[in-house]
Structure 1
Amino acid sequence: MRRTPTLSLSNPMGPVRHLALRVHDATPPDRDRAVDALRAVAVLGVVLGHWLVTALVADGGRLHTGSPLQHMPWLAPISWVFQTLAVFFLVGGHVATRGHASAQAKGTPYRRWLTARLSRLFKPVAALLVLWTIATTALLLSGTDVTTVRTLGKLALSPLWFLVVFAALTAATPLVARLNPLWPLAVVLHVDVLRFGFGAPAALGWVNLAAGWLVPYTLGAAWARGELDRPRAGWVLLLGGTAATAGLVACAGYPASMVGVPGSAVSNLDPPTLAAVTFGLAQCGLALLLRERLRRAMRRPLAWAAVAFVNLSAMTIFLWHQTALMATTATGLLLGRLPGLHTPPDGLTWVAARLLWLPAFALTLTVCWAAFHTYERGRPRIRPRVVRTHSSSDRAAPAKARRV
């Protein structure tokens, strides 16, 4: 039975609850909300991780990057919490496999299906490229140090590597949907053995940029086929991935940090190493084990509305979060060299100050979202796109969803 919430002017949360109930009621009952929740967690994990471990240090008239993990390696567990890219590829493989199967059943050509999916990824990129082209040109013409401009541009455009890899795997979905994840895992293993064991050229590691992320992507495809529905699959991935990662770090010399650290000889993420892939397996296992709890949590209208909002703006949030960090840092320079924003990340004082800056980053990102989210969502639709895709079946949404 559909609820009709009553608005109360004396209750400031009334309009929010009303909107949350509308989104909740508009969602088809057969939609797997755990998928959306996992995607939201993955996106927000990456954003918070970058904000916590990326420092722009003001040194004279220059800005250069730093990381608290460089000075305090014992903070490496932070990267274990916020490096959530494997979960995003897991969800991406699940959604793309189901979407392609649905398109085939409806007779939709592959080209039309792929164009629709990639347009959602790359449409927000245009605004980012235009703005940073203008900003870079203005900075160079104003006499800003070239090193500073290079640092800012690299950070601003760093999210694009993810989109390129994700787009390539999406395009290859018909070919890799039934690929056993052990095959790309074996490729990653052999590449690392050649690199670190036999002194092969470091450039060989870039093979893992595709093979490494193909592992969680094919796990997502297996999930879509129903092969990972039993809890046993999640436990095997979680325990096996954890044990393998611990062994590689403790015995094989892999870095403990799952993100790149300036000055480090080896990065687990650039390109992905075997340790990063086994760590991703553990993350995927945990994600699979949490599905039922997430489904129950998403029955709460407010929680579901928040997750729906993040999913609707996922690419905008992901693409602009580094720009929000840099915009806040640049604005702060007008007030001087501020702790946690422009100082070297070499102590717990910096960590405490950086935590206090997180709301400012979030506020700047909100401004970016308000300015550019229309490039992601496109023209308004009758009902939110987030409530229409990758449900557990292909049945049409109920009439009440169409009305909303």
Structure 2
Amino acid sequence: MASLSSIRTTRTRRAARPAPAPRAAPDAERVDNAPGHRTPPHPPTRGPGRNHYADLLRVCAIAAVVVGHWLLTDITYHHGHLGGRNSVEYVGWGRWVTLALQVLPVFFTVGGYVNAVSWTSHHARGTPWHAWVGARAMALLWPVVVYVVVAALGVTVALVAGAPARELDRAGWFVALHLWFLPVYLALILLTPLLLAAHRRWGLAVPAVMAALAGAVDLARVGGDVPVVGAANYLLVWGAIHQWGFSWLDRRLTRPRWLPAALAGVSAVLLTLLLWPGPFPVDMIGAGLRVNNTAPPSIALLAFAATQVGLLLTAEPRMAPRLERPARLRRLARLNGAVLTVYLWHMVPVILIALTLYPTGVAPQPDIGSGPWVALRVAWVAVLAIVLAPLALGVMWAERPLRKLPLGAGVAGRWAPVPLVAGIGATAAGLAKIAVDGFAPGGRIAVLGLALVAVGVSLTFLAGPRRGPEGGSGGGG
């Protein structure tokens, strides 16, 4: 989970026998459950290659991120000015809470699993890699486009209305900081065909090498005081975690059955050694620290993620059978279809409630960390959830027409991947800039970030052979 301040502080084979490929799923039982993919009204409760436990983990991970952000956000109103603080920086025991709130490794592991299932299925049907990547990326980007456009319009209206620059800057940053994971995830979608081929050749050696390289980067970054190299760990750490999803799919990570528990135990020991003598802090969101674990991600975060994922895979044999009831699967499918929308929009209620309740004095402001403050966190989360639920439903309804748009402009030939790669690169760069600077840096519209996103999404949408919204030429995603 990204913290409320960690991003801003970053300004300154042995040959193994190939695993059997999953059966290609028929169109009625699609396994293309990328974040943001909308599940049909009556989704299949069973399907080749579908792992409902993975769906459950993704839903729970996003729910934990949302609640975590809400708990850590402490809104203030003094002398006519709204502000916000990250409560972890003011509550002594708060940094230990991040061990329960940092769950994005689960999301990336599930992402690796479902990306491998989807690419394997479409590759078996003859889909070119760039067609799959384009459709997969757009399934992720459609909800993002809606969110970015609405946020940009909101900033424009606030500017015209004469909103104070400092408060507009802060509000624009609050509703942008959680976009940080999208550039990383887009890069992993782009690299999935290559990374999956590497996995089939070298297996768990691939994430092991990534982990070793991440450790070397941290040695240079922290021990050698060369912070510029830290950016490599965004791909190495999150890429290794994404790679675990491939090993989950072909059972290299779960057979024999004791292996996940062993992974969790060894990783927990390594994590303790990294945190106790140092130099890494226990805080797994990296708020306001010189050395942090998320911006850029550290080897300590990777050890923490291995512990977390090992425990969850250990629990799979007991938990998965409990999901196999039609009513539960229908509820899970509906929740799974809403995860990206909920994630994107969950900070908007914070701004709406702050503007409504704090200046009017309706919302109390007890001392941060006090008993009343802790008790009010429950009411705070409940009110935000009540506001978010209809907001998310309305947004999902508004997004439906976008899903019907055919992708691609008929680009073919060996140069077909070029506009796609350029588009994903520009989109990732634009989203990264917005995540760091916000939608209104210095009280002004984020022109460069928004322009990069507009150009990048347009190129991604138009690149490749023309196909239907579900990948009519085999590029669904």
Question: TM-score higher than 0.5 here?
Answer: yes
- SS class of match (1:65): strand
Specify which of 208, 223, 248 is matched with residue 233 of structure 2: 208
Please, which of 159, 170, 175 is the counterpart of residue 156 of structure 1?
Answer: 175
Partner of 2:45: 27
TM-score with structure 2 setting the length: 0.70
- Name the structure 2 match of 1:133: 152
Greater helix proportion: 1
Matched with 2:358 is 333
Whether the 8 Å CA contact 1:188–1:273 is kept in 2: the answer is: yes
Q: For residue 292 of structure 1, what is the amino acid of its counterpart? A: P
Residues 84-103 of structure 1: pairs in structure 2 closer than 5 A: 84-103=103-122
Tell me, yes or no, if structure 1 residue 278 matches structure 2 residue 303: yes
Structure 1 residue 259: Cα displacement: 1.1
| SS of corresponding position for 1:121 | helix
Preserved contact between residue 90 and residue 216 of structure 1 (Cα < 8 Å): yes
For residue 373 of structure 2, what is the aligned residue in structure 1?
Answer: 350
2:124 aligned residue (105, 122, 131):
105
- For the structure 1 residues 252 and 322, does the alpha-carbon distance in structure 2 shift closer, same or farther, using more than 3 Å as the test? same
Residue of structure 1 in register with 2:4 after alignment: none
Structure 1 letter corresponding to 2:373? W
Q: Does 2:269 correspond to 1:246?
A: no
| 1:140-194 CA-partner distances (Å, limit 9, x unpaired) | 3333222211111112112222111111101100111234111111121011111
* Count of residues paired in the alignment: 355
State the match for 1:83 in structure 2: 102
In 2, are the aligned partners of 1:192 and 1:274 still within 8 Å (CA)? yes
Residue equivalent to 2:467: none
1:78 positional shift: 2.1
Q: For the residues of structure 2 that align with 1:65 and 1:243, how far apart are their CA atoms?
A: 36
Gaps of 5+ in 1: 1-21, 382-404
Whether the 8 Å contact between 1:55 and 1:344 is mirrored in structure 2 is no
Give distance in 1, aligned partners of 2:305 and 2:400. 30
How far did 1:335 drift? 2.9
CA RMSD of superposed structures (Å) = 2.2
Question: Which letter does structure 2 place at the counterpart of 1:190?
Answer: A
**Cross-structure match for 1:265:** 290
**1:323 corresponds to which residue?**
348
Q: Is 1:364 matched up with 2:396?
A: no
Between the aligned partners of 2:403 and 2:296, the Cα distance in structure 1 is 39
In structure 2, give the amino acid aligned to 1:197: G
Report the AA paired with residue 349 of structure 2: A
Q: 1:74 aligns with which of 93, 107, 114?
A: 93
CA distance in 2 between partners of 1:329 and 1:323 (Å): 10
Residue identity opposite 1:373 in structure 2? M
Q: Which of 48, 53, 60 is equivalent to 1:41?
A: 60
**How far 1:376 sits from its partner (Å)?**
5.0
Per-residue deviation, 1:137: 1.8
Q: Which amino acid aligns with 1:167?
A: L
Q: Using the TM superposition, name which of 166-175 and 112-121 deviates more.
A: 112-121
2:330 and 2:249 map into 1 onto residues whose CA distance is 24
| Deviation readout 1:342-390 (Å, 9 max, x if unpaired) | 6663333212111111111111111221221135555799xxxxxxxxx
Aligned match of 2:430: none
Residues 146 and 399 of structure 2 are in contact (CA less than 8 Å); yes or no, is this contact kept in structure 1? no
Mapped partners of 2:388, 2:341: distance in 1 = 9
Q: Give 5+ residue unaligned stretches, structure 2.
A: 1-40, 200-205, 405-477
